[in-house]
Structure 1
């Protein structure tokens, strides 16, 4: 089958999409990708074609800002998708994220090719955009009007012939809110990393410039208040002041809106001594970091957005046999309880209690870590890959 993949980014660092493409190629499908070109140099790919829409990033960002109420962004994609379908003689179109659904459907209609549209939801977008500081603060909230996406959601979901979600919880939630979706194929494909790449990274034995002689906690990903990592910094400070020996390694970019708050915590005398912050690291170094840490953190604020799926980092922790300490977001709670690979907490006191338990019990950490790795490799990865492949078998 000739399948077109559409992403509104530069594609090269979109690991979820790249893994999906590798699964489809292994099944014998022909893949073409449509994505952005922000004027940089990009990778070339031997096994599939990539078509890039050239646009200044600032113009693209402006279109996104206006996209709730104006058609500029949708029309840009609609026009390029129609051309993309014609040029590649596509038999199916696979678009990523809710807001791309209408452009995908209109692009199909414009091309006059009667092909199915598969909508791949990376998140609960209405809940997500209503949590982004750039969308809800100051003058931008009047332009973006993020709350309108709650009323748009049903329409955009119904443009698709099939839907992919991150978790069974998200699937159940969508059907409960939009009963008409009961007749539409909805598949679950968790946001899991490509473990074949991890194996290759381990063979290269990358070295990283980080050492600690005490038990190290780890957070990998975007640093933002909505991700919970800023919430737990004062709790970490209290634990250290109470005499607990620990170190916290944080790797990831900081949301602009949260930089002052985050830097304020890092500059406190106590946290200065026990927190290492690295703004960015290529994922190829992640297996090397995982060998140096003892506990993986997933402190996401509990809300509809974080309930919808399990963050990539939890699967990465499981791969590295790292026990997880996490909030009770629905999907990640189900993963941790099913796999018996970590501990959960609800509030500050609970966080401190569960963390102290992990700090003081290396045997518990080892058991939870082994459980996670076993569950990941035996159940989640095989099941998830088969479920994804089934989408196109059904088509």
Structure 2
């Protein structure tokens, strides 16, 4: 039986989207090999939940990735993956190449003559993401490198080029599909939306409690879970805290996750300048079982993303995870977040980038928390009973390959 070769520029199985796609295809009877970079202690090959994993290189680091991104930018090829795919083709009968995200699109396209079909899976609006990811970088050399090689205009041209050249393009949200149609005139029939929903079984993580010392009854808890970055809107939240503290003296903002040193320093400096050290807690990483308990027991979980052409064209897994936790949800007005929350009346929405509106929504929740209990039930019902889950969404991916 021939294989679907999935190409991903992150260690497998770390990327949730790639893992869910690969495992769903295997469960449907397809054979999948994931070609991914090898970190120092990783096995060169193994089978994980039925998915063959073929790792390439040795001790893949962020520095190596940065250098390879520069080569990709200049030559439209990532040499590590080019030779890695060639090795994989000798071992596996790969007839479909499923390339995850824009940076590997050029490399994957080299193998089109050897494939029945090539599929490009866009996790996000990558060119626009480049405008936000590096906004708080301080190192002048890195800033110069990003300006030259990770230039959004350059990568937008690559996006248009490869969306035209690939046989099919998988988009993460409907907004991304419409953007490709309107900006690049990509034919709608070659675009398929497969979004970042969670499996229903994920809800089981919230049925048991793990000992944690973060959330207590003493505080009104505002919790953010995820990576820390300029596009996440955490600066909006921190700037709102002085207003919130005046009305809610026992409030605490908990940031669960990590970011680059530049990002963490920027957020910490902002907290210090506002004298909010007592009210803003940089928790860092926590084991996942503990995080699920933290999410469930928090008074409100937030997704405060800034609204721009990056965040308006992607959607985070944690939206659906929070909906499964039966905790109150407050999101910014980014198009996909607002669309889901308003469709099911399953949370509250504040105007993205608006400090005052964020503060007023938090204060309103504090004063009327019991009135919003029905929104928690609506959220849970949407993911478990109304199709906002991976079991339903994955059917579109399976149908795509059945047709091919």
**Same-fold call, TM cutoff 0.5:** yes
Following TM superposition, by how much is the alpha carbon of 1:334 offset from its aligned partner in structure 2, in angstroms?
0.6
Where does residue 354 of structure 1 map in the other structure? 361
Which deviates the most, 216-225 or 55-64? 55-64
Contact 1:68 / 1:145 at 8 angstroms: preserved in 2? no
Q: Give the 5 Å matches for 1:195-210.
A: 195-199=200-204, 201-202=205-206, 205-210=209-214
Where does residue 79 of structure 2 map in the other structure? 75
Q: Distance in 2 between matches of 1:385 and 1:307?
A: 22
For residues 46 and 231 of structure 1, do their structure 2 counterparts lie closer, same or farther at Cα, with a shift above 3 Å needed? closer
Following TM superposition, by how much is the alpha carbon of 1:327 offset from its aligned partner in structure 2, in angstroms?
1.5
Following TM superposition, by how much is the alpha carbon of 1:84 offset from its aligned partner in structure 2, in angstroms?
1.9
Query: Which of residues 378, 389, 402 is equivalent to 1:393?
Result: 402
Query: Which of residues 174, 179, 191 is equivalent to 2:185?
Result: 179
Where does residue 380 of structure 1 map in the other structure? 388
Q: Distance in 2 between matches of 1:286 and 1:389?
A: 31
Query: Which of residues 34, 41, 49 is equivalent to 2:52?
Result: 49
Q: Give the 5 Å matches for 1:115-154.
A: 115-133=116-134, 138-140=143-145, 141-154=147-160
SS at match of 2:388: helix
Following TM superposition, by how much is the alpha carbon of 1:240 offset from its aligned partner in structure 2, in angstroms?
0.2
Contact 1:16 / 1:193 at 8 angstroms: preserved in 2? no
Contact 2:12 / 2:53 at 8 angstroms: preserved in 1? no
Contact 2:3 / 2:32 at 8 angstroms: preserved in 1? yes
1:62 lines up with 2:70 in the alignment: no
Contact 1:117 / 1:160 at 8 angstroms: preserved in 2? yes
Following TM superposition, by how much is the alpha carbon of 1:54 offset from its aligned partner in structure 2, in angstroms?
1.4
How many residues get paired? 389
Contact 1:94 / 1:118 at 8 angstroms: preserved in 2? yes
Contact 1:79 / 1:107 at 8 angstroms: preserved in 2? no
Q: Distance in 2 between matches of 1:283 and 1:193?
A: 15
| Structure 2 unaligned residues grouped into runs of 5+ | none
Where does residue 33 of structure 1 map in the other structure? 34
1:310 lines up with 2:315 in the alignment: yes
Where does residue 373 of structure 2 map in the other structure? 366
Q: Deviations over 1:49-70 (max 9, x none)?
A: 2111114423332121343123
Q: Distance in 1 between matches of 2:47 and 2:208?
A: 22
Following TM superposition, by how much is the alpha carbon of 1:307 offset from its aligned partner in structure 2, in angstroms?
0.4
Contact 1:35 / 1:52 at 8 angstroms: preserved in 2? yes
Following TM superposition, by how much is the alpha carbon of 1:6 offset from its aligned partner in structure 2, in angstroms?
1.1
| Structure 1 unaligned residues grouped into runs of 5+ | none
Following TM superposition, by how much is the alpha carbon of 1:230 offset from its aligned partner in structure 2, in angstroms?
1.9
Query: Which of residues 250, 256, 261 is equivalent to 1:256?
Result: 261
Q: Distance in 2 between matches of 1:164 and 1:67?
A: 21
Q: Distance in 2 between matches of 1:189 and 1:180?
A: 17
TM-score by length of 2: 0.89
TM-score by length of 1: 0.91
